[in-house]
Amino acid sequence: MLSNAATPLYVLWRRELGFSAGMLTVIFACYIVGLVAALAVAGVASDRIGRKPVVLPALGLAIVASVLFATASSVLVLVVARLLAGVAVGSVISAGMAAVTDVAGSQRRRLAALLASAAIVVGAGVGPLLAGILSESVPGPTVTVFLIEVALLVLAVLVVWRMPLPGPTGSRTGAWIRIPSVPRPQRGELLLGIAVFLPGLASTSYVLSLGPSLLADVLGTTSRIVSGATTFVTFAAATAVQFSVQRLRIRAILLMSAISVVAAMAVLVAAVYASSAMLLVVAAILAGTGHGLGQLGGVTLITSSISDDRLAEANAALNIGVYLPAGLLSVALGYLSDAVGLSTATTVFGATIVIAALLGATFAVAHRRTAN
């Protein structure tokens, strides 16, 4: 929830603190920086020392980030809050998803992948919806949602503390800080997961970073509830589609992800030039569908082929390969929109993501081990 709770509130902070769309995407990308930095350490550490020693400190950082968001009075505070949120979420993505697999057991790995992946997108969608509603209905529009977040994080600490998790499973040899990787025989699965998940994540990153600006500047909609709801439907679609396709073969899931992303970008560009909020919502739903399918396919490839002693590191490798380029694309889009306008920048972005999605689909067709 913390990862996207700030999304509908950036309009307020931009008004109060006076920063550009380019700076907005930099603030957004600081989350990616923190997330990637955490992934470079958390996956290996989790496999070596256990899940709890990684997840519990991450939840503590998330509490600190929530307090900073609630009291933010400068761009620097927002940057630090986003950075800490990224570190916290990066640690949970690698160690927390592996913990779900540990609890599920070896016979239910695919179910574990589904539940872990769905939990991420549910939280990612609920956070901005709650923030949008509370910011227009209660005092303290940029405060209340983060107070609720702190309470939920405290509850999460108690839950994780009591989880029946096994001890460390990985080797204690080798560097602790390194680029996460997987055994050579499984690198094809990792690369395929990145190739298909990346376009879906990048498309939803647009909704998160510049969606509110698009609603306000191009479509003339300033409601933070609409902004939060648009983000919510994005991730609601990502959640629903994961449960609806759980019995399909992985290759079919990956190809459906690519098709959804291509459709999302076509509708997004149409929404900008037609100044249609309804088309933007449709684009958000399609982007969320592509994101959910790509994430599920990538995580399932990892959990079904990687042993327990490298599982958290493999999750970290998948997410670094996806979040880092997606963050760079978001920053480039923000500054491009400052230079040439949001409509032109959106068109360039959409064409780039379509090409990436088609390349991912081609990889999925060519890769022989994705049929199951």
171 occurs within a structural domain = no
Phi, psi of 5 (to 5 degrees): -60, -25
pLDDT tens digits along 304-322 = 777 767 777 787 788 888 8
**pLDDT band at residue 212, thresholds of 50, 70 and 90?**
low
- Are 72 and 78 spatial neighbours (Cβ–Cβ below 8 Å)? yes
End-to-end CA distance of the chain: 32
Q: What are phi and psi of 166, to 5 degrees?
A: -70, 170
Q: Is 332 exposed, middle or buried (0-12, 13-18, 19+ CB in 10 A)?
A: middle
Helix intervals (H) in 138-249: 144-161, 187-209, 211-217, 224-244
Tell me if 131 is assigned to some domain: yes
CA distances from residue 153 to 35, 66, 146, 317, 335 in whole angstroms, order as listed: 18, 10, 10, 26, 34
The mean predicted confidence, pLDDT, of the chain is 84
Which position has the higher pLDDT, 97 or 352?
352
Residues of the chain above pLDDT 70, percent = 90
In a domain? residue 101: yes
Q: Across 7-11, 60-64, 116-120, which has the greatest mean pLDDT? A: 60-64
Tell me, yes or no, whether 334 lies in a domain.
yes
Length of the chain in residues, anyone? 372
Give the C-alpha separation, 115 to 113, whole Å.
Answer: 6
Please report whether residue 175 resides in a domain: no
Which of the listed ranges 110-114, 177-181, 262-266 does the model predict with the highest average pLDDT?
Answer: 262-266
Q: Are 253 and 196 in contact (CB under 8 A)?
A: no
Section 315-330 average pLDDT: 82
pLDDT in tens, 61-98: 999 999 999 999 899 999 999 999 999 998 988 888 88
Which CATH number fits the domain that encloses residue 78? Answer: 1.20.1250.20
Separation of alpha carbons 231 and 233, rounded Å: 6
- Does a structural domain hold residue 194? yes
123 in a structural domain: yes
Residue 70's domain spans which residues? 2-163+183-366
Give me the amino acid identity at 67. Answer: V
pLDDT band at 369 (very low <50, low <70, confident <90, very high): low
Residues 295-305 have a mean pLDDT of: 84
Instruction: Give the pLDDT mean for 27-47.
Output: 84
Least confident of 97-111, 255-269, 283-297: 97-111
Task: Please check whether residue 338 lies inside any domain of the structure.
Answer: yes
Domains in the chain: how many in total? 1
